[in-house]
Amino acid sequence: MPDCFASRPAQPMFSSALQTGERLAPFALTPHFSYPWFRRSHSMPVCSQVPIFVRPKAVGPTLNAGDGDIPYPYALLAGVCLALMWLNWLELPSFWGDPARWLLQAYRFAEGEIPYQDFAWPYPPLSLGLIAGAFKLFGSTFSTAQIVVDGLSLAVVLLTYVAGRKLLPGPLGLAVALCLACVGATNPGNFALFSLRIYTPALLTGVIGILLMLGGMVDYLQSDRQGSLWAIAIGSWIAILSKPEFMLAAVGLLITSGLLLVGSAGRTWKLLPLVRLISAGLGPSMITYYIIGRLTGFDGLLAGVTGYGLAAMTCPWWPTGVGVFGGLVAFGQAVGVASMCSLLGRTCLRCRWRKSRALVQVGLTVASVVLSAGYLRFTKGPLTLRSGLEHLTSFGTLLLPVMWVGTLLCVLQGLYISRTNKVLIGSGSGSGLLPIFAFLMSGSLLSFRSLFGDLFEPYTKVPAAAYPVWLIVGSCLLTRLVAAVCEARSTTVAGNSAGDERFAKYFSVQLAGTATPCSVASLVVVTLLVAYSLTRIVVNVSGREEAHSFSTQAGDVSVADDESEPVYRYVMNSTKSTDYVLDLANGGAVNFATRRRSPVFSTQFADLRPSDDVLREDVDRIEKHPSQIVIWSDNEVKYGVWAYTGCTFPRLVWRPDEMAGDPTRKFPLVEYMIARYQKTRTFGRICVWRLASPSDAGRRERGK
C-alpha cells in the first residue's frame, strides 16, 4: 500500500472534504495533530482524515503538478477555444446593457476623449485602454472588439491551465481549463468568455493578472528565481489596474508574500528580497496611477476607480443573518457531498463503519439535499422543477461550498502559520503547502465582494472574478475526497500492460503494478468536469435565442432582441454624422454603431451614485451641445441600486434594512430632457424623444 494511504485512527465520516491542508505536491502526508474524541478501533486511510496542517514526508505518490503531461495540451486548448469563438462570434444580446456601454466608452477613448475627464469609466483604466488602442489601430468595429475579447479569453483559459498545474496533474489541470472555457462560453454575461456579452473586459484582464501573480509568487518564494519577479510585476500591474477586487487580492498576496519572506525558516533574513518583491509588485502600478492622475485629475480618477459611489453602497464583507445562513448551507452541502462519496465505498459499509454510521451518512446526504432545496426557495421563491435544477447546477451555486470551505481553510492555515511561526516556503520539505495556501488566499480575497451578499441581493454568492481560482481549488479538494473512497474500495488495475503504464503516466506519479487512488480519483474528477462541460454546451446550443444579423457603420453584428435594429435605422435616417445622440436607456451601442457622439459626461444612468458636480455637468454639457435624439426607457434611470442591500456596518441585522439607492433622488438631466424633448416613436420598451421646437418647449415649461 502506498505510504500516503497508510492506516491511521478513524476520523469523522465526512472529513475527507477538508484535505486542503495536505501537502499536495510533491510530498506524502502524516498528521500533525489528531482529534482523540473521534478515535475508534477501526482504521481509515490518511487521505480521508481531518488534519488541516501536516508534517511532510518526502515519499509516496501525490497530486504532483509536474508529472503526467498529455501531448500538446496548449494545442488542444486552443482548438476548443477556437470552436467556442465561432459559437459566439459577433453576438450581442441587445444594444442596451453592460456590453453596449463599454463599447461606447472605448469608442469615445479611441476618438480622443479622455476617461475620468471627458466621460465616465467606473473602473481602473487598463482594459479600457486596451480596447481603445485596438480601435485606434484596427478600426472601431464589432469585429475588433470581438477579437480583443477572444484574445483575453484565450489568455484566461491558458493561464488557468498553467496555474492549475501548481496543484493538479496534467489531465486534471487540462480538464479544469476546458471546463472554465465551456462555462465561460455559455455564460450570459458576468463571466462570458469569447463573447461580447462580457459585462466588462476589466474582469478578463484582472483574472489574467491574478493568475500571473499566483504562478510568479509561488515560484519566487520556493526557488528565489529572479525571473519570477517579472511575472509578479506584470501580474500585479495588470490586476491593480483592472478592478477593485483584483486590486485587493493583488495587494493582499504581496503582503502575504512579504510576511512569508520575513519569517521564512531555513534561510537568512535579508532586506533585499523583500524590497525587490514589494517594488516589483507595487512600483509599476503606483507610477501608472500617478501619471494618469496628473493627466485626468486625481479627484476624477478616484471617483472612477471607486465606481462613482458604487464602492460605498454596500459592505458585503460585513456579516448579516441571511449571509451567515447561506454560508452554513454551503458547509452543509460540502458535508453532504463528502458523505455521499463515502457511501460509494463498499468496504466502508461492510466493515469500517457500523450500520448506524452508514445511516448517519445517508441522513447527512439527504439533509444536505433538503437544506439546499429549502435555501433555494428561501432566496428565489417558488420555482418550477426545471428552473430549480438550473439554479442548483449553475456554476456559481456549485462553487459556493468550495468558496466557504476554502475561506475557512485559509483562515485556519493563516492562524497555524502565525501561531507556530513555521513559514512553509523555500525548496525544503515544507514547500508543498505554499501553492494551495496561495490559491486559498487569492480566492478568499476575491470573494470579499459578495461573501455576505452583493449589490442586488443580500445572499452569499461566488463572484465571477473568483471562478478560475475556486474551480482549481474545488477540483483539488474533490480529487482528495475521491482518492479516499478509491482507497477504501481498493481499486486496482490488473496487470502492467502498456495501457496501464499510460494510464498511470497521465493520471498519477508512479505505477507499481496497480493504479494509485490518486490516479483513479483524477480520472473520476476529469470525467465529471468533461460531462458538465459538454452538458453546458449542449443545453446552451439547444436553448439559444434566435439572433438576426444586420450591417452597421461599425460592421456586422447579431442581436437577439427586436428593438436594436429598428432603433439603429431610425437614428441613422433622422440624424447627421455631426449630430449628438443621448442614450439614457443604459446603453451605448447605438452611438457606437451609428458613429454619433454622446453629449454628456455620464455613461451609466442606473446603479451608480454620482456626485452633484457630475449631475450638474451633464446638464451643462447638453445645453452646450444639444442632442437631436434621446433614447429612453422607463425605470432605466436610477440613483443607486433600488434594493435593500445597503451597508449596515456596524449593526448586526438578519437582513439589510438600508436601501443602496435613493428612489427620491432626481436626475437634473432627466428633468431637462422632459422639459425640452417630446416622444416621437416607440420600439418595444425603447422610446425615442426628439428635440422640441422652441415654441413647444416654452409651452411645456410654462405648463410645468
CB 31 within 8 Å of CB 54: yes
Residue ranges covered by each domain of the chain: 3-57, 549-703
Angle at 17 between CA 15 and CA 19, to 5 degrees: 90
Q: Which residue has the cell 462560453?
A: 185
In the prediction, which pLDDT does 185 show?
94
- Look up residue 596 and give its DSSP letter: P
- Look up residue 21 and give its DSSP letter: G
Q: Which residues of the chain have pLDDT under 50?
A: 1-68, 265-268, 346-353, 425-431, 490-515
Q: Which residues contact 366 (CB under 8 A, 6 or more apart)?
A: none
Residue 388 C-alpha cell reads as: 430549480
Q: Which residues contact 90 (CB under 8 A, 6 or more apart)?
A: 142, 143, 146, 196, 549, 555, 556, 557, 558
Query: Where are any strands of DSSP class E within 544-697?
Result: 548-552, 555-559, 580-583, 627-632, 677-683, 686-691
In the prediction, which pLDDT does 20 show?
35
Q: Which residues contact 121 (CB under 8 A, 6 or more apart)?
A: 105, 109, 115, 128, 304, 603
CB 633 within 8 Å of CB 585: yes
Cα distance between residue 265 and residue 275, in whole Å: 18
Summarised one tens digit per residue, pLDDT across range 471-508 is: 999 999 898 888 877 665 543 333 334 443 443 343 43
In the prediction, which pLDDT does 86 show?
94
Determine whether 189 is exposed, middle or buried from the number of CB atoms within 10 Å of its CB (0-12, 13-18, 19+): middle
In the prediction, which pLDDT does 224 show?
64
Phi-psi region of 427 (alpha: psi -120 to 50; beta: other; left: phi over 0): alpha
CB 446 within 8 Å of CB 246: yes
Cα distance between residue 415 and residue 441, in whole Å: 13
3-state DSSP assignment of residue 55: strand
Cα distance between residue 99 and residue 466, in whole Å: 21
In the prediction, which pLDDT does 110 show?
96
Q: Is the dihedral of CA 536, 537, 542, 545 positive or negative?
A: positive
Cα distance between residue 518 and residue 61, in whole Å: 8
Cα distance between residue 426 and residue 347, in whole Å: 40
Closest CA relative to residue 411, chosen from 441, 452, 431: 441
Closest CA relative to residue 190, chosen from 269, 317, 93: 93
Single-letter residue type at 36 = P
Q: Which residue has the cell 477555444?
A: 81
Torsion angle, alpha carbons of 248, 250, 253, 258, to 10: -110
Q: If you write DSSP's letter for every residue of 389-420 in order, what string do you get?
A: HHHHTSHHHHHHHHHHHHHHHHHHHHHHHHHH
Q: Which residues pair with 581 in a beta bridge?
A: 629
Closest CA relative to residue 516, chosen from 499, 497, 500, 498: 500
